[in-house]
Amino acid sequence: MNTDNPYILLTPGPLSTSPTVREAMLRDWCTWDDDYNLGIITPIRQGLIQLATATRPEDYTCVLMQGSGTFSVESMIGSVVPDDGKLLVLTNGAYGDRLAEIASYLKIKHLVHDSGELAPPDLKRLEQALLEDKQITHVIAVHNETTTGMMNPLEDIAKVVKTHDKIFMVDSMSAFGGVPLDVAELGIDFLVSSANKCIQGVPGFGFIIAKTCELRKTEGIARSLSLDLYKQWRGHETGKGKWRFTSPTHVTRAFYQAMLELEAEGGVFARYKRYSENQRRLVSGMEKLGFRCVLPEKYHSPIITGFYNPEHVDYNFMKFYNSLKEKGFVIYPGKVTGIDSFRIGTIGHVFPEDITRLLRAVEESMYWAYEYELLGS
Ligand SMILES: *Cc1c(COP(=O)(O)O)cnc(C)c1O
């Protein structure tokens, strides 16, 4: 349970961190010193590969990249798809749309399959496109679409993409470290996530898990100097972990602590169980209070859940939000187009008892539902 925080963030990143992760930042580091590169960066890179695949870690490498998660996504897309390649983007939300937007900015040839925010990707359509459009070389999908909280069927998508022997890239920003997966088993070639999501670090960098033999083929493709994935990787490899340009030293030190805490918790599966318990408790409690989920249960993820805003005339999201914030909980506005909703995240340094406290706070904040009591008093 959180007792040291003025309020806890029930948002999909940045999220609530442990006091020990925050304390780890209280010291300065030199970016070319071995204490930093061999003591912090190298174990982070190795640890992330271990989290990504238990079966074939030797086939993968890890590149760290400055900036928020989107910088790493842009680095990956812009450094991996060549000028004569074509990218198929699967989207069912704002983060999938962002992948297509990046491809547009970078003038990368691409095709978008949009299944709408309330449906998973259409696998038959994917299969059809890969059969018919021989120009497609790469496919990219979002793992957990944070817009709605929909857990996309990564295994099924991977199967189709790999049957057709395409390069498979995944934005697993809000799932990696909190949802078990094995990139080698799924045949994922590139996967991206960031420091401030399920590993529970603070914001400041992202990382790309790459199949080494595929990354090797990408020299010279990058469309940006600072986001050149291949060069960043060569920098790490030849410099004992060193980053090409100033690295976010305090953030990486905090992240190293966060990785130790993930291990101490029992690894990704244990964390997945905690997040799942948080989410189950949240949904059943909210439904008891009369709220309805945006997605049917079969599409839920342990990461974040969307709820319809109550239809009551007196309901106002900002008033509800502020009341919860006063009681120590920060929730998230909705992002689904055309649906009046808000979201509550269940990841981060957040425990089932925190969810129970949240539910009590929600009940106390439902001023619109207690009108009759006010009138009666
Ligand atoms: C958080 C997130 C991102 C990255 O967002 P930033 O604001 O750049 O950190 C990308 N994709 C998904 C699915 C996310 O949840």
For the segment 328-350, what is each residue's pLDDT rounded down to a tens digit? 999 998 888 788 999 999 999 99
Q: Could you tell me if residue 288 is inside a domain?
A: yes
Which of the four pLDDT bands, split at 50, 70 and 90, describes residue 3? low
Cβ of 171 less than 6 Å from ligand 1: yes
Chain-centroid distance, C-alpha 317? 25
Are 114 and 240 contained in the same domain? yes
- Mapping DSSP onto H, E and C, the string for the chain reads CCCCCCCEECCCCCCCCCHHHHHCCCCCCCCCCHHHHHHHHHHHHHHHHHHHCCCCHHHEEEEEEECCHHHHHHHHHHHHCCCCCCEEEEECCHHHHHHHHHHHHCCCCEEEEECCCCCCCCHHHHHHHHHHCCCCCEEEEECEECCCCEECCHHHHHHHHHHCCCEEEEECCCCECCECCCHHHHCCCEEEEECCCCCCCCCCEEEEEEEHHHHHCCCCCCCCCCCCHHHHHHHHHHCCCCCCCCCCHHHHHHHHHHHHHHHHHCHHHHHHHHHHHHHHHHHHHHHHCCCCECCCHHHCCCCEEEEECCCCCCCCHHHHHHHHHHCCEECEECCCCCCCEEEEECCCCCCHHHHHHHHHHHHHHCHHHHHHHHHHC
- 228-273 tens-digit pLDDT: 999 999 999 999 999 999 999 999 999 999 999 999 999 999 999 9
How much is the pLDDT for 360?
97
Are 190 and 101 contained in the same domain? yes
Q: Could you tell me if residue 62 is inside a domain?
A: yes
Q: Could you tell me if residue 306 is inside a domain?
A: yes
Distance 92 CA to ligand 1 centre (A): 14
Q: Report the number of distinct structural domains present in the chain.
A: 2
Question: What is the rounded average pLDDT of the residues 303-320?
Answer: 94
Best mutation site among 9, 15, 65, 95 for ligand 1, i.e. most ligand atoms within 8 A of its Cβ? 95
Which of the four pLDDT bands, split at 50, 70 and 90, describes residue 377? very low
How much is the pLDDT for 76?
98
What percentage of the chain carries pLDDT values higher than 70? Answer: 97
Are 273 and 259 contained in the same domain? no
Is residue 1 over pLDDT 70? no
Are 82 and 108 contained in the same domain? yes
CATH number at residue 298: 3.90.1150.10
Residue where a domain stops, chosen among 245, 264, 283: 264
Cβ of 70 less than 6 Å from ligand 1: yes
Strand order of the β-sheet with 167-171 is 60-66, 205-211, 190-194, 167-171, 138-142, 87-91, 110-114
Mean pLDDT taken over the chain: 95
pTM of structure: 0.96
Are 25 and 150 contained in the same domain? yes
Atom number in ligand 1 closest to CA 70: 8
Chain-centroid distance, C-alpha 322? 26
Atom number in ligand 1 closest to CA 142: 13
Consult the annotation and say whether 343 binds a ligand. yes
Residue where a domain stops, chosen among 211, 237, 264: 264
How much is the pLDDT for 102?
98
Atom number in ligand 1 closest to CA 172: 13
Are 120 and 145 contained in the same domain? yes
Distance 51 CA to ligand 1 centre (A): 19
Are 218 and 285 contained in the same domain? no
Are 71 and 38 contained in the same domain? yes
Distance 99 CA to ligand 1 centre (A): 11
Are 208 and 156 contained in the same domain? yes
Cβ of 72 less than 6 Å from ligand 1: no
Cβ of 142 less than 6 Å from ligand 1: yes
In whole angstroms, give the CA distance from residue 132 to residue 116.
23
Atom 2 in ligand 1: residue holding the nearest Cα: 173
Atom 4 in ligand 1: residue holding the nearest Cα: 69
- 134-166 tens-digit pLDDT: 999 999 999 999 999 999 999 999 999 999 999
Of 109-123, 152-166, 276-290, 356-370, least confident by mean pLDDT is: 356-370
Residues of the domain holding 294:
8-13+267-374
